[in-house]
Amino acid sequence: RGSRAIDHDSRPDIWFGRMRSLSAGSRALQNARLGRSLRQSFRLQRAEKSTAVSMKESATALSFEYDEHDLLAGCRLLEQPHSERPRVVDMLTGQYVEASNDLLGRELPNVDLTQDFTMEDLATIHQASDAAGGILVFSNQKPDMTVHDHVRYARAMDAYCRAIGHGTGLELSVAKPAYPDAPEILEIVREPTADVTFGENWHSDHSFHEFTCSFSILRGVVTPRHGVNDTLFSSTADAFDALTPTMQNLLLDLNLYHSANRAYGQGHEGNSLAAMKRTRSMELRDDLEITNYDVLHPLVVVHPTTGRKTLFGSPTFSTRIDGMHEDESKAILKFVYDWIARPEFCTRVSWKPNQVVMWDNRLLSHKGLADDVSERRVMHRVSLRGSRPQNHRGESFSEAGKIDASMAGLF
């Protein structure tokens, strides 16, 4: 049980090893190895200092000794719902194929999110997220978990993100708050009478901000008993890695405009104001000015703690590539969006009672799935605001610009 240091810039998939060739029958063995390999990865020398400055300086040398009841006990691969390999639509062919990103996401069944967390605990969770490709499923939460418990955990994780230099607070809900004393909670409700699924198009949460959303923490409050009400995730880091070097180099220096107007204005129905109203319960806040601005971000961003390059754009919030003709921009973005949606980069999270899912928007794109809207569904989400997205040269954009009225409606 020797100790070793983890370089946050190391590829997280190395910590698990590539297991794509293992058969379904070896799943239990994989799960046993996962918890052990994570604990070995995080068995680092305990930091001596405790201030935010020292935490930031020593972030790459943090971790701890654990007993058998540590936070990572029971860590396992996600159980794919409905079949061993769930079927998704290949956007390039239009055919149903099997999702096959076996390494994406981990379930942590022994973490009580209502407890008090030390910085060491939070470092462990953050590093586990990095190693799992950005998806952690916290099952077995207390049935009486409150919105205040939810926000308190989010604040704790934000405190750790601030300590390592990549956190800038919690976002306020874009909808009128269902809980005035917890305005950070976005309550996403779909009534049985609704005829749309809010969030049904691919997106990374709130990429239209200058300081984009890092982690989203979603809790299933009322989960339907029937039908498919899953969340589909795609690893935008795996998607970039799978591109040819020629295509990678083409995309590396492109910059992409993101706009809330695309979604919350007259945009795509799955995320538009009209869709929000058709859920029969959600309404955008009156005091927001997010639809008045575009922001510019690199199309390929570097994840701040893993160092992985990711494709950062979506049909929900992205509008056009800077400096390109409309037709050029549309052609490249169509390829990028279709590529991200390829099944080999995707996995699904099936919602169960007393479950919380935390995902990293800087490593992932996601969308909601629903084939049965006959039952009420209630979800609570809190989003953490991160740092400005940076390109491979460490550059980012510091100012949001007014939307050019002459371009409105063209994209």
Give per-10-residue mean pLDDT for the chain (411 aa): 36 33 41 49 36 34 40 81 49 50 84 96 95 95 97 98 96 81 89 65 86 95 81 95 97 93 58 50 60 84 97 92 96 96 91 94 90 80 95 83 34 25
Number of domains the chain contains: 1
* CATH number (domain holding residue 259): 3.60.130.10
119-131 and 147-163 helices, crossing angle to 10°: 80
Q: Quote the CA–CA distance of 154 and 170 in Å, as a whole number.
A: 8
Is 11 among the domain residues? no
Helices and strands: H and E segment counts in the chain: 10, 18
Is 24 among the domain residues? no
Domain residues for 292?
A: 84-407
Is 34 among the domain residues? no
Question: pLDDT value at position 249?
Answer: 98
Is 155 among the domain residues? yes
Question: pLDDT value at position 260?
Answer: 79
Residue type, position 317, single letter: F
Nearest CA to 393 out of 306, 313, 301, 308 is that of 301
Question: pLDDT value at position 402?
Answer: 39
Dihedral (CA of 212, 214, 219, 220) sign: positive
DSSP state of 60: G
Name the helix (H) or strand (E) containing 188.
strand 186-190
Say what the pTM is: 0.77
Is 62 among the domain residues? no
Is 72 among the domain residues? no
Is 74 among the domain residues? no
Cβ-count burial of 116 within 10 angstroms (0-12 exposed, 13-18 middle, 19+ buried)? Answer: exposed
Q: Enumerate residues 6+ apart whose C-beta is below 8 A from 320.
A: 256, 257, 326, 329, 333, 407, 411
Question: pLDDT value at position 156?
Answer: 98
Task: Give SS3 for 12.
Answer: helix
Is 110 among the domain residues? yes
